Structure 1
């Protein structure tokens, strides 16, 4: 895949994450090869750090820091020697932004996870936003904003093998253990989960096995993975994030919600894009069908993560989480 093809493949993911489409075209249009992806996007991120330092208000500074966090994260989507440093800088920029914009936000870390808790201290419930195979807490800031706007608290997390932890830990299938430790650390009575891409599997699995989960939603989450059919780029990412090809194959074998879906007692919204067709990946319709309180939202023109169709699913997902969590019995 050449640089133009790679940039085109990441287009709706990047714009769905909130970067300016015109800036994206300027940054990626000059790439001569995919090898230049990481350095070019890191440079874009650092330009926003400079703007933050020169900003005339704390709000402007915070907004530039949030944009820097997005760019640093997107720089990690192609392998390069500074990917781990870019993930660390994304984490740092997000922390600086929240310190400026939301003084009440707090960092919460534990065994195998780290993230930021945002929102009112008296929120009726907290939603944990779970990233996927190569995403991170910095990618889904607009989703967090939609949930915060509905009065919910949000904990944007990096788990094992994700985001700032990707360089020191590996993905694990039993994500319900991570969710359990997050719930213990947050100490809040009502928890919802939103999982995106592979995070959809993590969220659905945790909803089936962790009884404290009161509501859940998945976006482009796999119901099942078939290692033999997965395209080489997906296999390569899995190998990097799990510790090698053998570990990746073993991990893939765990991704099957057939037996777990009927155990999900919480209200569940499953969002799929009709254009999200990846060989070896079974999309979420069977999950919604097998879950006792599952609803399937299919967006025919949506791609993976539906960055090209946010109006068709994001408000509905945020409303689903708000209604399910505030209506749930204590």
Structure 2
């Protein structure tokens, strides 16, 4: 794949993550090879760190730090030997931003997870945002903001094999065990879950097996994966995150929600993009159909993660989670 094709493929994902589309085009138009992706994106992130240092206010500094975190994370989307360092820089930039912008934000880490709890201490509900195959907590800052705007507390996390933990851990199929430790660490009796891409599988599986899940939503999450049909680039990413090709193949065999979906008793919203077609991936329609309280939202023009159709699903998802957790459309 040429660098122009790779940049085009990541376009709506990057802009959906909140980077400026004009800056994205300036950066990617100057690339001559996919091998340049990681170093140039990291350099762009450092540019935002310098802007933060020179900013005239704490608010401006925090905003530049959040943008740096996005660019550092996006640096990891192409094969890059320094990806673990980029992920660590993303994590540090996010932490610095929240220290400036939200002094009440709290770092929460434990066995197999690490992230930031944001929002009011007396929030009427707490939502956990779960990333996917090669995403991380820094990718979904706008989703977190939408949930915070509804008065909820939000814990955006990296789990095993994800984000800042990708260098030291690998994917686990029994994600509900990780989530049980998260809920214990958050000190809440019930949570909402939002899972994105492969995180949709993690969220749905947890909703089926963890009784403290009171609401759930998936975005571009698979109902089932077939290793033999997955495109080679997806298999390569899976192998890196799972600990090798055989471990990845074994992990993928677990990704089938047919038996678990009927056990999801919480209200479940399943969001798919009609243009999201990946060989070997069965999208969310079967999950929504089999879950007792499942609702299916398909956006015909939406791509993977629906970064090109945010207004067609994000407000609806925010309302769904808020209503399921609090009984109101928007807490006041």
Length-normalised TM-score, structure 1: 0.99
Residue number in structure 2 paired with 1:93:
93
CA contact under 8 A between 1:124 and 1:190: conserved in structure 2? Answer: no
- Report the alpha carbon displacement of residue 72 of structure 1 after superposing the two structures with TM: 0.2
Residue number in structure 1 paired with 2:154:
154
- Report the alpha carbon displacement of residue 190 of structure 1 after superposing the two structures with TM: 2.5
Cα distance in 2 for residues equivalent to 1:82 and 1:129:
26
Matched, 1:191 2:191: yes
Matched, 1:267 2:264: no
Superposed CA offset, 1:75-98 (max 9, x none): 000111111000000000000000
Residue number in structure 2 paired with 1:164:
164
Cα distance in 1 for residues equivalent to 2:8 and 2:62:
29
Matched, 1:244 2:244: yes
CA contact under 8 A between 1:17 and 1:141: conserved in structure 2? Answer: yes
Cα distance in 1 for residues equivalent to 2:8 and 2:35:
15
2:250 aligns to what SS in structure 1?
helix
1:258 aligns to what SS in structure 2?
coil
CA contact under 8 A between 1:12 and 1:307: conserved in structure 2? Answer: yes
Greater CA drift, 188-197 or 13-22? 188-197
Instruction: Report the count of equivalent residues.
Output: 328
Matched, 1:320 2:316: no
Cα distance in 2 for residues equivalent to 1:292 and 1:81:
44
Greater CA drift, 299-308 or 74-83? 74-83
- Report the alpha carbon displacement of residue 318 of structure 1 after superposing the two structures with TM: 0.5
Residue number in structure 2 paired with 1:308:
308
Superposed CA offset, 1:202-221 (max 9, x none): 00000000000000000000
CA contact under 8 A between 1:190 and 1:213: conserved in structure 2? Answer: yes
Residue number in structure 1 paired with 2:298:
298
Residue number in structure 1 paired with 2:62:
62
Q: Can you give the 5+ residue segments of structure 2 that lack an aligned partner in the other structure?
A: none
Cα distance in 2 for residues equivalent to 1:309 and 1:323:
22
- Report the alpha carbon displacement of residue 124 of structure 1 after superposing the two structures with TM: 0.8
Superposed CA offset, 1:189-247 (max 9, x none): 23000000000000000000000000000000000000110000000000000011100
Cα distance in 1 for residues equivalent to 2:8 and 2:250:
31
Compute the RMSD of aligned alpha carbons. 0.7
Cα distance in 2 for residues equivalent to 1:80 and 1:325:
40
Residue number in structure 2 paired with 1:180:
180
Superposed CA offset, 1:95-142 (max 9, x none): 000000000000000000000000000001110000000000000000
Q: Can you give the 5+ residue segments of structure 1 that lack an aligned partner in the other structure?
A: none
Residue number in structure 2 paired with 1:36:
36
Residue number in structure 2 paired with 1:125:
125
Cα distance in 1 for residues equivalent to 2:189 and 2:314:
25
